[in-house]
Amino acid sequence: METNNVKTVAICDTEPIAIEGVRALLDSRRELMLVGTESSIGSGLDMLRNLKPTIVIIDKSFGLHAVSEWIQAAGDGSATIVWGTPMNGAEAVRFMQSGARGVVRKTAELESMLDCIQSVAAGRTWLEQSLLHDSERLPRRKRTNLTPREQQVLDLVEQGMKNKDIAVQMGIRPGTVKIHLKHIFEKTGIHGRYGLALNGLKEKGLLNIAQA
C-alpha cells in the first residue's frame, strides 16, 4: 500500500535491535515509511495481510522453507526483501527463485541496505554481487541445441527443483535426470545447478546484480 507516493515498509525479524536499526534508517527518508514490525512469522503473516505494505523485509533465520512460503503469501501485493547472516549465494538464488525481489546481508553497509529498499520500491530487483560467484563471467547458454527433455530438465532446475522431484515430475529415474544434467552442462558450458539457476534468473530479467 502506498500513501501520497510514500512507499510503506514492514519488517518481520527475530532481533529487536535489527528492527530498530531499520526504523532508524527509514526515519530519515521521506519517501519510505515503516508501518509495521513483528518478531514471529505467524504474526508477521497477519501483519502482511492486514497492512499490505509496499515492501516487507523478513529475516532468513526463520528458515528456508518458512521464508519461501512467506514470499509466496506476499505474492504481487508486497515485494519481499530477505536479509540475514550468514547468507551465501546458493541461498540468495533460492530466495530469488521463490520470488524475493531483494536479498541482502545484515552485515551490509547502511547505504547498501537503503539502495536495496529503494530499488525494490522502484520495481527492480536487487542482489549483492558479493553473494555470487563469478556471476558476471558466466557464459550465456545456448538453448537451441538442447533436446526437448533436456530443456524440460533445465526449466525445472531453474525453478529450484531437486533431482528426485524432477524425476517424479517427468516420470523418469533420478539417474536419468543426472544424465540429462551432464549433457546440459556440456552443451551450455555452465557447470553446476547454481550456475544454471543464476543464468535463468538473469535471462528472465529477475536478477539485477548490485555492487556491495
Q: What whole-number percentage of the chain has pLDDT above 70? A: 88
* Backbone phi, psi, residue 119, to 5°: -65, -45
Reduced to 3 DSSP states, what percent helix, strand and coil does the chain have, rounded to the nearest 5? Answer: 50, 15, 30
pLDDT band per the 50, 70, 90 thresholds, residue 164: very high
Q: What number of residues does the chain have?
A: 212
Residue closest to 141 by CA, chosen among 197, 101, 88: 197
CATH 1.10.10.10 domain range(s) in the chain? 148-203
Residue 39 has pLDDT above 50, yes or no: yes
* Start-end of CATH 3.40.50.2300 domains in the chain: 2-133+205-210
Q: What pLDDT, on a 0 to 100 scale, did the predictor assign at position 135?
A: 45
The pLDDT of residue 133: 58
Set of cell numbers at residue 65: 522453507
Average pLDDT (7-31) is 93
pLDDT at position 98 is 86
Position with higher pLDDT, 30 vs 57: 57
What is the CATH number that goes with domain 2-133+205-210? 3.40.50.2300
Average pLDDT over every residue of 131-144:
54
d(CA 132, CA 130): 5
* Of 24-33, 44-53, 88-97, 105-114, minimum mean pLDDT range: 88-97
Euclidean distance between CA atoms 188 and 106, whole angstroms = 35
Whether pLDDT at 8 is above 80: yes
- Round the average pLDDT of the chain to a whole number and report it: 85
> Which residue is listed with cell 527492480?
124
Task: Write the DSSP symbol of residue 172.
Answer: S
Does domain 148-203 match CATH 3.40.50.720? no
Q: How far, in Å, CA of 80 to CA of 103, rounded?
A: 9
Contacts of 77 (CB under 8 A, 6+ apart): 52
- Residue type at 191 in one-letter notation: H
Name which residue leads in pLDDT, 53 or 138.
53
Candidate from 61-70, 138-147, 150-159, 173-182 with smallest mean pLDDT: 138-147
Q: Does 1 score more than 70 pLDDT?
A: no
CB count within 10 Å of CB 119 equals 19
Phi, psi of 37 (to 5 degrees): -140, 140
pLDDT at 134 over 90: no
User: Which residues, 6+ apart, have CB-to-CB distance to 207 below 8 Å?
Assistant: 96, 125, 127, 198, 201
Is 129 a residue whose pLDDT tops 70?
yes
pLDDT at 210: 57
At residue 37, the pLDDT reads 96
Cβ atoms of 56 and 74 within 8 Å: the answer is: yes
